[in-house]
Structures are given as structure tokens and as C-alpha cells.
Chain A
């Protein structure tokens, strides 16, 4: 069979269903980026399966003209694992949010990630429960006032990427709904990754948590508050690219370039770095006052075997050793006796 793939366009991935997110929602931008990237991957459309849980983000599959499964709250990673293990050749993507992935689905998320199932998770982080109309989420900041926390939330938030890194996720990245080009590039890198990928997409909910990421997305703020991670390149940021991140012992520090400090002194990003402390330090920057928020690929480990491949190989090995299963022999296994 020839492997030619018909040329696909963005339109091929759009459905006839009316998109029902609130006008101005960041999800539109994410949908548009995914619809733009999928046709560029050289994969036949029927191989894509988009799986989701519950929440605004989880309506995603209805708008993607692929195979799609809108499951139940928090369980998308487990449903996706079943799909991927049974059919490793499928391209399985999960669309989820901070509530779906980190609260009710936290357990499935970490286990799917630590197994390294070849699933790409797009985690839309708007730091709020949108579909249930505005309760605080596991990524809402401490003290956040919402409908369910009128006097401020008393719960410390999750750092999603620190969690993913802690779960030994082999591909960890962050992008932002409004950074279309960056988002598309990040999605392409995730698609090229064989194992599990966890992509946090900072997304604005203009109804219940408007401006959640304003300090990153405002014009002029971007260059001051964001540092772009690029493999093999130093961590430089600032409007005039005059600031950098330097390693000082086990800590990071922001330094001003010049006055004897040069690019050579800065941290050079290595997404394959094996010491988990490295990616973890990067993930924690977002919480550290005075530090820019990193976007891009935090970690990309390409040599870790995928769960579904290990499973399939085990079957192959046992078949080689014992021969393909014979039902008649199976029925007659163990001690038998004849009654005449």
C-alpha cells in the first residue's frame, strides 16, 4: 500500500457544528491553531482521535473533523490510553482544562504521563471553572475571590508543569492562546514527539477570569515578562534583550547583561537535560517574583519507550517464545481426565 497522504487543509479539520464558546474566548485561538497544524503533519485525517473530558475546553472534539470522543469529567487520559494501547498507530490528542486535568482528572493525568503513553495533552489553563460559571480552580492563585470563594481561596495552587515534570513526563511545554505562531510551533514539536506530551496553554476566560494572563499578554509586557525557551540558546529576555537568567548554585537569578556579564554566563537551554531539577527550576520561575515566565519546550526526552510499544512488544515476545495461542490447547490446559 502506498503511503501517500492526500493534501489536507485547515478546512478539512473544521466541522459543520456551530462553535459555542463565548465570543472572545481564548479557545477559538487554540482551535484555529490546532486546525492549522494538523494538516501540516502529513497524517491522514482518519488517524486523528481527539478525546476530551468535561468543561469548556472539552467541547473541542465537536469542532474538529476527526474521530472525536467527548467523555466524562476528568477521564479523558484514561479513555485515550485505552484507544492508544489498542491502536498505537492512531494519533491521539486530549483537550482538557485546569479543572478537568488537575482536579477531578489529576490521577489519570499523572499516570498517563508517567507511563509515557503516546498521547498529546492540550491543557487549557484559564485558572477558573468556566462551564460551571466561575468557581476557583486548582490553578487559581491563593486568595482568589470567586463565586465559591467570596472571601478568597485558601488553597495553594498547582503548578501544572512542575506536576508534569514530577510525573516524569517526557515532553513538557507551555504556550499562550494569543501567541499564535508560537503555539503552532509548539504543537508541531509536540506532534513530532513519540511519547506523552503535556502542553499547558495559557488561555483567557473573558467572562469569569478576564485578564488572567494579562501581565504576560499585554503589549510591551510580553518581552519583559516572558522568556522564550529555545534549545541550545541562552535564556535572554527584555524589550532590548538585555536581561538573562543565570544559574547561581542551585538557584536561578535574573541578571542584567553588560557590566562584565555576557551571554556566555547565562543558562543555555537544554530540553534533553536529564537532571529533573533543571526543568523543575524552569517550571517554578512563573511563581518567582521578578522572574519572567518561560514559554516553549521545557523538556523533550525522545529515548524513553512508549507504554503502548512495550505492551505490544511483550505480546510479540511471548508469542515468539510460546507460539501463538491455541484455543483448543488453552481449554485443555491443566490436569484433565477422560470420562467414558
Chain B
């Protein structure tokens, strides 16, 4: 594929390339997330396929100019399919020495480096623990370096506006953004509109940022700094109307739509936690859809209020991340015992304990599976891309309501904050979710089950004649009365497990992408979807026989998964944990699944996966089927 790095020899004024990866990095107060998302929205509107990776520190404002304070936003955009934000970067914008130091390793050889040369004084270098000035010590010789006086140039552009130095300095990210717009021949009008809207009450700030951006654009034009600019034509996406969507936005919207399709009020009980809080923010804005958002006093109240809302007939949910998930444990057990429908969203992050609040990980799978006292099985779904979060929200709600069970949705920091173009579905593509409240007291018993789903009836307070008691004490089957008899307990434990197993009747069989049988099956789940898909595509193009199954249903697993795994000589399970899905697969299917595990708070790179695939296929018996057994 042609990229900037390949294209350097020929120097037309404007060159058409297939894809590019751009990363903005600077202090967490430098507005890098804003520059990145503005650039993203502009390329999205143009019709490129894309994937983003915002990567920021846990501290809101670490001391300026230091290594822990570096924040970055990366986007890959292309005229063909994009599965990941990209392994390596074509254009790196670095606002200070700390950002440069932390990010330079990801810039491709001969890639473009735009640096804010105004922030390379001795003091800046010291804060970044740089003994020498990289702009002078030849350490950057492998790259095309463009030192730009971002601060002075921005100030010059804003001179007439009468702003103080600090405010002017804050606009420098827009100067850099303007440069990138020039570099990729993108119009600035989308960002103009955004600024007008964002600073509705402060038009002077809108004007300042516009001028800074325009100045950056003109700077490139006037100085002919880059000699080349690039054109990346629109991608051939499936026809339809598109928007850009992050995983957290998609989850929020998915639940609003699910509630509508079920004809229920949506109730969210939540306690702020990174990286899940944006779901609370989004849903709090949807009051005109009748959404009730309850910011609880703690994680436990967040889920127990949701259980209360579910008991009284709402589509109830709670959102959290790992540490909050741990606090909700006992309440999830209650939801299992009283068989009420709630959806628990765990936006995973690095752990244990507080861990890496802003970094991604997939290490809550076993917590979701087993993290409760006694036998308390809960169905689990995992989203694979930001846009997929929408559909997973709908499916989780459907299962919860149909089977009267709590359902866990696993997303992670990477999906939550990452964005991709999302084809907006027609309303007719979204299934209705049937819900039945019992109203007839005749023959009503709180634990009398539907024979097909094993769901108990949903009898909400306010319904005459259905007064009944539920609770966390063991129930007698059918009547729901408190019961401590040994055989009844075993029966109820088995019934609760059978109910979760019954959901398997709704779980579609997996169909591997790539080769339907062959040397290697890669089984993944969650946000590794993009990296695995990209790696498998390249490796198959190189002649390897590989299939890829990406699991949306983690409990219960698809009923044909065991048979599918038998069609390949080897099974590889890449996960951002110590091997949690591979442990489940090995235990359940006695399959020799090999784990590939990365626990760095960062998603897999395509190249890492490809190297692993090559390694796995280079040893051991390669044949067809039975995992080498």
C-alpha cells in the first residue's frame, strides 16, 4: 500500500495516497484530544474509513511539560478498509520535548515530524529529562523534521484581538491542526462550525482559534514547508448514511433505542468512573427520551437502584469499570437470585485495584464469569468495535428482558474512547424487543417459569392481586417462598444455570472469517477485533490458511464453537490479559488453545500479531483439524 513514507521520492504538489496515520501529542492541557477529534471528524465527513486511539494520562493536568502529562490522539484514515488506528505514525505533531520523547519511537522512518520549537528551551528539556536538545543532537535524522514556532506564530496571528498571552497560547493546537489540514488538503469549515457552536457565548475565543488554524494553514502554503501535500480519496464503504461514533456514545444510544423498542423507561444508576463516565454523561442528556439517570452515592447504590428500577418495570442498567465492578459483585448475585433483568456495563481498564484508569485491558472476563459468591452464572456479551457497542447494547437488553436475567456487557477503554465511521441503521433494521408484564392474578406464582426460556414472570408493583415477596434468600421453585431444603437448593442452582445455558438457543453459530478450516484458528473477543482482522488479512494474503472467530457471546458460548475449533490444527487466543478466554476454552473444550497475551495498557499492534502468527505456524505439527491432537 502506498503511504507518505513511500511517496517521498517523487515530489508532485499534491499526491494521492491510500492511507495515513496522524498523531497529535502534547501536554494534557494542550488540547490534543480536541485537535485529534476535529481532524477525525473532518476526514470522516470527507468519507474516509478511519479508526482512532485517544491515549491520555489519568491525571487531569500533570505538571506541564513532564513525561507523565503527555496526552496523545492518533487516527488512521484511508480510502480502503481501516481496522486499527495504525501501528506506526506517518505524521507526528509534538508540542514539547516530553511529548516528543514519549512518541518518537512510533514515527515511521522518514515520517513527518512537526515540533513546537518554542518549547525546547533548557527548562523544557530538563522537565522531559532530555540531556541534549533533540532538535540539535541529530537524534532525529531519520525523520523529516519541521520545527515550527507554534507559540510565536500563533501570537502573531492573534495580535489584534487583544487577548492575554495565556489565552493566545492556548490556541496553538489549532495552528497545528491548520497545518495538518493543509497537509491532507482538507477544508476547515467543519471545524469553523464546531468552534462557532462551542464558543457560542464567547465569540472572541471562536475567532481566535479560527485565526490560529487559518494561520497554520497559510503558513504551510506561504512557506512551502512541506513541498508535498496529500490526497486520500473517500473509502468505498457500504452505501448509507454515516456518522462518527465512539464506543461509549454507541452504548448510550443503544440503550435509549433498546428501551424504545421494548416500550420501557430507561433507568441508569451510575457512579462516575473512568473510562465509563461518558455513558452517564451521554444518557443524562437524553431526558427528552424519558431517560432517568441516577448518579448514585457509590457503585453499590448504582447497581442496587437499577435492581429496584428493574423490579418496578424499567429497563435498568448500570455502568462502571473494573474497580466498580468489584463493588457491584454482591448486588449482581442478588439480581441472579431474584431473576430481574438488568444490564451491567463494564468498561474495562488496567488493574488490579486502581491500576491504569485511562489505559485499556481485557482482564475482567473471569471476574464477569465467576466474580460472585456461590454459583451465580450471568450471561456475558462483548463488543468488538466502537460501533458494535450499539448493537451489543440492544442484544444485551433483549436477552435480559427475555430471560429475566442480569447481563454483563464488556467493553474497554480502547472501544469506549476510540471512534469509527458507523453506518446509521434504518429504524426498520432494529428489532422490537417484546416485553410481557403479568397482570392476571389467576395462577400467578412468582417463580413459575416459561418452559422455553425458564424466565420467571415479571410482576411489577402496582399490579392488583400480584402482591408477592422476593429476596436474596433461597426460594422454593415455583412459589418463590423462602426455602432451605437441600434438594430444592440444588434444583434452583441448576435451574439458574440452565436458564443461562438456554440463551444458547438465541446465540448464532460462529462462522469463521478467512479460511473455514486450516492451520490456525484465531479466537478473539472484544476490542482486539481490528488488530486481528488486519493481521489475518495480511497473513492470508501471504498464503497462510487462517480462520478468525470473534466471540460476541462469551456466556453462553456459541454452541458450535467446539466443532469449529476442531477444523484447525492450532488455536491461538490473543488477549490483553494473562489468558482468560484461553483458560475457559481449554477447560470447556479440552482444546490446546495457545494464548498470546499483552498486558501493557495498549492495544495489539497488527505487526505484533503477525509476528506471533508466523511464530505459531513455524513450529509443531501442521495438519488439518483436531488442534494437533
Could you list which residues of chain A lie within 8 angstroms of chain B, going by C-beta atoms? 15, 17, 44-49, 51, 54, 61-62, 64-72, 75, 77-87, 89-90, 107-108, 111, 311, 314-315, 318-319, 321-325, 327-328, 330-340
Contact = CB atoms under 8 A, between A and B. Distances in A.
A75 B471 CA distance: 12
Nearest to A16: B481
B330 interface: yes
B307 A79 contact: yes
A337 B47 contact: yes
B469 A315 contact: no
A327 B257 contact: yes
Interface stretch (B65-73, B282-290, B348-356, B559-567): B282-290
Given A65-B467, A69-B311, A327 B427 contact: yes
A325 B291 CA distance: 10
Interface string B453-471: 0000000111111111111
Contact of A331 (B312, B424, B460, B471): B424
A41 to B, nearest CB: 15
Contacts of B253: 330-331
Contact of B237 (A84, A332, A339): A339
Interface string B279-313: 00000001111111010111011001111111111
B316 A82 contact: yes
Main secondary structure of the interface of B (DSSP, over half): mixed
A183 B45 CA distance: 68
15 contacts: A46-B465, A67-B467, A69-B471, A70-B472, A71-B471, A71-B472, A82-B269, A85-B309, A311-B292, A311-B294, A315-B290, A315-B291, A325-B256, A325-B289, A336-B242
A190 to B, nearest CB: 19
A78 B190 CA distance: 45
Contacts of A86: 265, 267, 292, 308-309, 312-314, 316
A46 B304 CA distance: 22
A322 B463 CA distance: 33
B469 A61 contact: yes
Interface in B15-50: 41, 44-47
A257 B298 CA distance: 51
B296 A78 contact: yes
A141 B287 CA distance: 48
B451 interface: no
Given A86-B292, A336-B242, A72 B304 contact: yes
Nearest to A311: B292
Please provide the 7 A-B residue pairs with the shortest distance between their CB atoms, ordered closest to farther. Answer: A82-B308, A70-B471, A325-B289, A82-B305, A78-B301, A68-B469, A318-B287
Contacts of B45: 335, 337
A261 to B, nearest CB: 47
Interface in B209-247: 234, 237-244
B334 interface: yes
B233 to A, nearest CB: 13
Contacts of A89: 462
Contact of A82 (B288, B304, B330): B304
Contact of B190 (A54, A82, A335): A335
B609 interface: no
B290 A81 contact: no
Nearest to A317: B287
Interface string B136-176: 00000000000000000000000000000000000000000
Interface string B311-323: 1111010000000
A44 B310 CA distance: 22
B434 interface: no
A90 B312 contact: yes
Given A90-B462, A314-B287, A80 B301 contact: no
Interface residues of B, number: 72
Nearest to A331: B424
Nearest to B330: A72
A107 B312 CA distance: 23
Interface in B320-357: 330-331, 333-334, 338
Contacts of A48: 461, 467
B366 interface: no
Given A17-B482, A85-B305, A87-B461, A337 B242 contact: yes
Nearest to B256: A330
B468 A67 contact: yes
Given A17-B481, A339-B240, A83 B288 contact: no
B471 A319 contact: no
Nearest to A323: B288
B424 A335 contact: no
A66 B468 CA distance: 6
Nearest to B252: A330
B425 interface: yes
Nearest to A82: B308
B478 interface: no
Nearest to A64: B469
Interface string B421-449: 00111010000000000000000000000
B461 A70 contact: no
A325 B470 CA distance: 35
B495 interface: no
B260 interface: yes
A288 B286 CA distance: 52
Given A72-B331, A327-B289, 10 more contacts: A62-B469, A62-B471, A69-B311, A71-B334, A72-B333, A82-B305, A82-B310, A325-B290, A337-B47, A339-B241
A48 B467 CA distance: 9
A78 B305 contact: yes
B498 interface: no
A82 B306 contact: yes
Contact of B288 (A15, A107, A324): A324
Nearest to A70: B471
A51 B286 CA distance: 30
